[in-house]
Amino acid sequence: MNEAATALAIEDWKRFTPLANKLPILFLDGTRLQHLSIECGGCSAHLEGECLRGEIREVSGDRYSIAGLAACQSCQAFTQFCLSSTGSAGSVHLEWQTAAGVLMSAGSVSWWRRLLSSFQ
């Protein structure tokens, strides 16, 4: 991130609230997305809990967008993420955009999901 992008990220960080306060996402069939862990774009640390802030929006019936920032104390940097999430039959499906295209991940909600992330 350059200086201007970092300044914008800090403004966003102040505006956002912790994602942990907004989880779980409860899907129509009862599937829950309970935990989110974002991989730091700088050092690959797994960031979670208070390190994640952002917004969860319902996009359509059973589809949510999760967008925000992950703060890494060791890098002193933010990793920006934007995911979309659907749930059915006990699985949560996540999609996110990277330079290589749209990546998808599906997993049992009982697993601790670790997500790739990308600077955008």
- Residue 43, interface with Zn ion (CB under 5 A)? yes
Opening angle at CA 27, ends 23 and 29, nearest 5: 140
Those residues with Cβ within 8 angstroms of residue 116's Cβ, 6 or more apart along the chain or in another chain: 39, 96, 98, 103
**Which of 111, 114, 120 lies closest to 47 in space, CA to CA?**
114
- Residue 72, interface with Zn ion (CB under 5 A)? yes
As measured in angstroms, the least distance from the Cβ of 1 to Zn ion is 12
As measured in angstroms, the least distance from the Cβ of 38 to Zn ion is 10
As measured in angstroms, the least distance from the Cβ of 83 to Zn ion is 19
Strands (E), the chain: 17-18, 25-26, 32-33, 38-39, 46-47, 52-60, 63-72, 77-88, 91-98, 101-108
- Residue 42, interface with Zn ion (CB under 5 A)? yes
* Count of residues interacting with Zn ion (CB under 5 A): 6
Residue 7 DSSP one-character state: H
- Residue 51, interface with Zn ion (CB under 5 A)? no
Give the range of 23-31, 35-43, 55-63, 103-111 binding Zn ion by CB under 5 A. 35-43
Residue 85: alpha-carbon gap to chain centroid:
10
As measured in angstroms, the least distance from the Cβ of 117 to Zn ion is 11
- Residue 66, interface with Zn ion (CB under 5 A)? no
Contacts to Zn ion by CB under 5 A: 40, 42-43, 45, 72, 75
